[in-house]
Amino acid sequence: MKKVNGRYELYGNPITRRQTKAADKWKAMLAKKFAYDPQEPFHLAVQDHPYGGEIFGLKEIVREGDGTPLALENAVVVSTIRMGFGHYRIAMAGVSAAKAMGFTPHWLDLLAIPGITTDVINWCNTNYSKFSRISQRYPWFDKYVWESLTTGNPSLPGLNTLFHNWIVTWPWRFIKTQVKDYKMSELFENLYGALPKEQPILTAHMWNAMGAVAGGMTNVVDMMFDNWPMAFQLTEGAKHAVQGPAGYYGFRVLRNFGDQGGVMKPIPSDAIYFTGQHVDHELVENIEVDNAARLRRMKAKEPRRFIVTMGGAGAQRELFKAIIEYAIPLIKADKMTLFVNLGDHKDNWTWLKGELEPYQDLLSTHFTWEETRDFADSIREQPAHGLHVGLFDNTFHAVYATNYLMRVMDVMITKPSELAFYPIPKIFNARVGGHEMWGAIRGAEIGDSTVETRTIPETLQAIELMTHEDDLLEMYCEMIVKNKSIGLYDGAYKSVELATGRKFERTPEGIKIG
């Protein structure tokens, strides 16, 4: 990161000297807190990924493990962290596309590397998760604090003054926050410096991208999340793979990224690319087949299949309870089949098990990847009935189970997180953070989703329509097929292309790699 006349710059746009000093102090505080050693060596090895190896032939990069020495011939490294499931899901799309394009994908999870990376990110994630849970439990906090932080638009006059020394002083939209995050990510440079400088690497979170650039890597592609431009997602020195045209424009001109207003210097065109939405190869490749199956089931009057995903905070339990109570009579009448994926959140199962006690005759559980995979495969050509709950003992299977189940489901109910970009008819329930609003807008406008349903009655209304009527399902299926034909779901392939230089082309015979 450049410092010119005592001020850090992002693409030629400086922050103030005071903000520069604050960013330096932030890095110094973390370095002291976690005893950072700038000379610490990272000895890396490779082993089969314990969960993705069977699915993708995925390799895992580990620190001083029992694996083989690091060798990355014909490899694409995909680097991620767990902050919610979204960044894992983006990384999986990169892994899937890399494998389909003939590369060996290698997984680098910063939270699986002992040392400064794990220490710093766990500390940051604890605070993020705390405020995210508060935002879901208390509407006033969500409206006046969390949305302001996540969009950079204060919802209450004087909010920036009120929270000046706490949380909204550094809203994610502004360049000063990007600088602060980059300085923190310089603490990860020894890890990324242990990889070959020219190694193609996809990153699913800006801290991964920032650490890779700080470590001297030169083929870094940041698979960007959300559809709402925020400065902290940018990393000068990386290529940015943006999922939507509106997001592309906002990032290109750094729209409203200065905390004092004004027009910013745009970033160069060779630093940002509109790639389309980051989606797994298996889902994109089978869009025509899977949507034809949805329409066939619709015409045959089979029970309408819904999948709903529940996050770890458990703060939307009131919504989930309402959905399940609405669904039970429909499941009994064989009008609906419902699958609830609890991810790897055992506490949510403890709660949900009590709620479902009266409905044991309807309930089937799937608590391993193998059980879930076999269930999905069994209903690919056969009707599905009842209420199903999935729970997993690891994050990888917890996330990928939803991706795998999408192909055999008719409708997904989800907040407009990273799942907003996936090619399945969707009902959007209420967002968590203002930035997610723009994922819902994107999905609604390209025609594969409802608008965001902000209240429980609105969500149930959407379920009612999608269960008993056919027009919305038919329209969404048709739009998904059309969207594929113009490349809207090709973001993961295009990201691999940017990192490796190997050209991607879709032909009637399948994927062609130049």
* pLDDT surpasses 80 at 162: no
Buried b (16+ CB within 10 A) or exposed e, 253-279: ebbbbbbeeeebebbeeebbbbbbbbb
Over range 447-472, report the average pLDDT: 97
- Whether the CB-CB separation of 95 and 108 falls below 8 Å is answered with no
Helix axes 317-332, 346-355, angle to 10 degrees: 50
Using CA atoms, how far residue 10 sits from 236, 443, 476, in Å, is 7, 31, 40
Confidence of residue 138 (pLDDT cuts 50, 70, 90): low
Which residue's structure tokens are 């990153």? 203
In angstroms, rounded to a whole number, what is the distance separating the alpha carbons of residues 224 and 240? 7
DSSP string computed for 60-82: EEEES-SSEEP--TTEEEEEE--
List CB contacts of 42: < 8 A, sequence separation 6 or more: 63, 113, 115, 190, 191, 193, 194
Residue 126 is predicted with a pLDDT of 73
Q: Are 185 and 211 in contact (CB under 8 A)?
A: yes
Token pair for residue 412?
A: 């997904």
pLDDT confidence bin for 157, thresholds 50/70/90: very low
Q: Domain-by-domain residue ranges, the chain?
A: 23-224+235-279+489-514, 282-485
140 has pLDDT over 90: no
Q: What is the pTM of this model?
A: 0.91
Q: How confident is the model at residue 166 (pLDDT cuts 50, 70, 90)?
A: very low
SS (H, E, C) 411-430: EEEECCCHHHHCCCCEEECC
Neighbours of 6 (CB within 10 A): 10
pLDDT at 161: 42
Question: What single-letter DSSP state applies at residue 207?
Answer: H
* Of 269, 264, 265, 279, the residue nearest 248 (C-alpha): 269
* Start-to-end C-alpha separation, the chain: 34
Chain centre to alpha carbon of residue 321? 25
Q: What is the pLDDT of residues 99-133, one digit of tens each?
A: 999 999 999 999 999 999 999 999 987 755 555 55
The residue with tokens 């040392």 is: 115
**Res. 197: pLDDT tops 90:** yes
427 contacts 411 by C-beta, under 8 angstroms: yes
For residues 64 and 254, what is the distance between their CA atoms, to the nearest angstrom?
41
Average pLDDT over residues 231-245: 97
- Cβ–Cβ contacts within 10 Å for residue 354, how many? 8
Q: What per-residue confidence (pLDDT) applies to 20?
A: 97
Q: Which residue has the tokens 């995979």?
A: 373
More confident residue, 504 or 139: 504
In this predicted structure, the answer to whether residue 148 has a pLDDT above a threshold of 60 is: no
pLDDT band at 143 (very low <50, low <70, confident <90, very high): low
pLDDT for 93 beyond 80 = yes
Which residues does 49 contact at the CB level (< 8 Å), separation at least 6?
56, 58, 59, 60, 107, 396
Distance in angstroms (rounded) separating the CA atoms of residues 465 and 477: 15
Looking at residue 82, what is its pLDDT?
Answer: 87
> How far, in Å, CA of 63 to CA of 68, rounded?
11
Q: What is the rounded distance in angstroms from the CA atom of residue 324 to the CA atom of residue 327? A: 5
Of 180, 182, 151, give the one whose Cα is nearest residue 255.
151
Res 431: pLDDT: 87
Helix H or strand E encompassing 446: helix 437-446
- pLDDT of amino acid 135: 53
* Residue with token string 């009612």: 464
Percent of the chain with pLDDT over 90: 81
Neighbours of 477 (CB within 10 A): 24
pLDDT per position as a tens digit, 4-36: 999 999 999 999 999 999 999 999 999 999 999
pLDDT confidence of residue 172: 75
Select from 83, 320, 303 the least CA-distant residue to 204. 83
Q: Rounded to an integer, what is the distance from CA 301 to the centroid of its chain?
A: 34
What pLDDT score does 169 carry? 44
Give me the CATH topology for the region 282-485. Answer: Rossmann fold (3.40.50)
Average pLDDT, the chain: 91
